[in-house]
Each structure stands twice: as C-alpha cells, then as structure tokens.
Amino acid sequence: MDLYELVLNIKDKKELRGISEDFLIKIIKKELKKRPYLYEKIKNSKNFKILKRDEDFIYFFKEIRKILHEAFGVFAPKDLREIYRIVHDDISIEEKVIQILMINLSTKERLNFYKEIYSKIFIEDPIEIMDLASGLNPISILFSDKRPRKYYFIDLLEDVIEINTVILRDMGIEPYGYVLDITDLDNDIIKRHYQYIFLWKTIPVLEKLDRRLPYSLLSNIDFDYLIVSFPQKSLGKMRSIGKFWRYWIRRVAKNLNYEIIKEFDIPYEFFVVIRKKSS
C-alpha cells in the first residue's frame, strides 16, 4: 500500500479534509522515521483494511490524527458553507467580518480586542503585512485605523485563501494569498523581507510538530517588525502555559539578537512586538 492511500484514510474526517496531501505526507514520513518497522508493514500491506488489524498501525494512525487535530483541526474554519454564505450575502463588509470571525474560537476570542491589538502593534504605519499560518485573521484588519496597502498571507487551506482574498479586496487592500506549508523554510515567499510579519498562536502548534521548528522559523524570516502571540491557556483551558512561552520568546529573541519592544495581554492571549537590533 502506498502512503497516498494512507493519506486518504487519515483525511476521512471532516476537520482534516482540507489539509494538503503533501503536508500530510511530510508528517507521516517524519513519524515513520521513528518506527521504521511500521513503514515496512505499510509498504508490504495490500490495503488499509488489512492494516487495521495491526495494533501498532492503529496506534500510529490515531497518533497522526491527534497531531493533526491539535496542530490544524482546532484552528481550521468549522463551517465553510456558512462562511461562504456570509461572504456572498448582501450585507455590509463590517457585518461580514464580524459574522465570519465569530465562527472560529481563536478569532472569536479576539473579536472585542482587535481594535486594541492593532492600536498597539503598529510601530510605523503599515505598508505591507505577511500573516504566517493566517487562518481568517487577515480580515480582522478591518478593525485597524491603519491598514496596509498589501496583505500577504499563507495557509494550508485553499478556502481560507479565497475567503481572505475576497474580503480584503472589498476593503481596498491588495491581497496576496498562498497555499503553503510555513515549515518549508527554503521557500522564497517565506524568506523574503516584509515590513510586518504576524505569527499569532502558531509557535506552540509548530512545537507539537517538531521542537526545533519554532526556532528555525524565527531565525529564517526577515522583517522590520515581528508580531508574535501565544495562548495563555492550553487548548482545553485547563492549564496555564503563558509563563513558559513568555520565558521562551525572551530567550529566543536574545539568542537571535532581536529586540522585544512591547508586550501586552488580552484575555486568553499575549502579544510580543519584536524588531531586529541594528548591527
């Protein structure tokens, strides 16, 4: 059985259907490196039905889905049909943005605080923004008094790219959306210089995929200002994790010769504004 058959079975779950096959293959191969014996089993098996009888495989299969749920499914738009209905509805742009942001927990939590966030993060008037692992966050720029001329954004979901593109155009902002894996650090779109880079609630997700990824990403991106955010609580809201990530970002910024110029909190999330020190 080839890995693409395995991919199709892993994606046979509503919240995971939008994940790109190439990204999923990358995750599977990384996890199989830890279990070379299992790779041989998969390769030599005739079909998925036979593999389901193997306890080691079933554990691996569930583990992959768990990783994807924590790193992707939790943040993916929950009701794309409803979102598209809103996008094409005959209502004001503000009503569209509010209704769309209310659908996802991460943006819903920020909804009453977006104006405050944008009033604090822009050290200089924004001309361009790159939003890494953006989700539907780009459309929240509606709540900023200062809007960029160009908004770049990267996500794994084509639907997210399309929705952001339509709404940003309606605001008079030039949208540049890319379906990309932000762990592909050699990609020129990720490596080029941007005035502002947003990386919101993404570092803990990357850390679940590979502990080395967050540091590698932060050391490879080029910016005037980097706006990073972290959750205050774990996904189940049961455990406080903010203190750990505050320490982590301060240590990493120091190691990379970056300067933290501002920190602030909103409920459930804290933000850090970073720039590169003058050489």
- Contact, 135 vs 104, CB < 8 A? yes
The pLDDT tens digits of the residues spanning 97-141 come to 999 999 987 788 899 999 999 999 999 999 999 999 999 999 999
Q: What is residue 189's three-state secondary structure?
A: helix
Residue 234: pLDDT band (50, 70, 90) is low
Domain boundaries of the chain, sorted by first residue: 3-73, 80-276
Contacts of 10-16 with C-beta under 8 Å, sequence gap 24+, read 10/61, 10/64, 10/65, 10/68, 13/65, 15/69, 15/72, 15/73, 15/76, 15/78, 16/65, 16/68, 16/69, 16/72, 16/73
CA-CA distance, 63 to 66, in Å (whole number)? 5
The pLDDT tens digits of the residues spanning 242-260 come to 678 899 999 999 999 999 9
The mean pLDDT of the chain is 89
CATH 3.40.50.150 for domain 80-276, yes or no, is yes
Question: To 10 degrees, the CA torsion angle through 271, 199, 139, 115?
Answer: 10
Q: Please give the pLDDT value at position 129.
A: 99
Tokens linked to 155: 């996500």
Residue 27: pLDDT band (50, 70, 90) is confident
The pLDDT tens digits of the residues spanning 84-93 come to 999 999 999 9
CA-CA distance, 261 to 26, in Å (whole number)? 36
Global pTM reads 0.86
The total of other beta-carbon atoms located within 10 Å of residue 86's CB is 19
DSSP β-ladder status, 269-276 and 193-200: unpaired
Give kind and range of the element (H or E) at residue 258. strand 258-266
- Contact, 136 vs 107, CB < 8 A? yes
The pLDDT tens digits of the residues spanning 182-229 come to 888 788 999 999 999 999 999 988 888 888 999 999 999 999 999 999
Best CA proximity match to 139, nearest among 121, 164, 157: 164
The pLDDT tens digits of the residues spanning 55-76 come to 888 999 988 888 787 766 556 6
Q: Please give the pLDDT value at position 193.
A: 97
Q: Please give the pLDDT value at position 167.
A: 97
DSSP β-ladder status, 222-231 and 174-179: unpaired
The phi and psi torsions of 166 (rounded to 5 degrees) equal: -60, -45
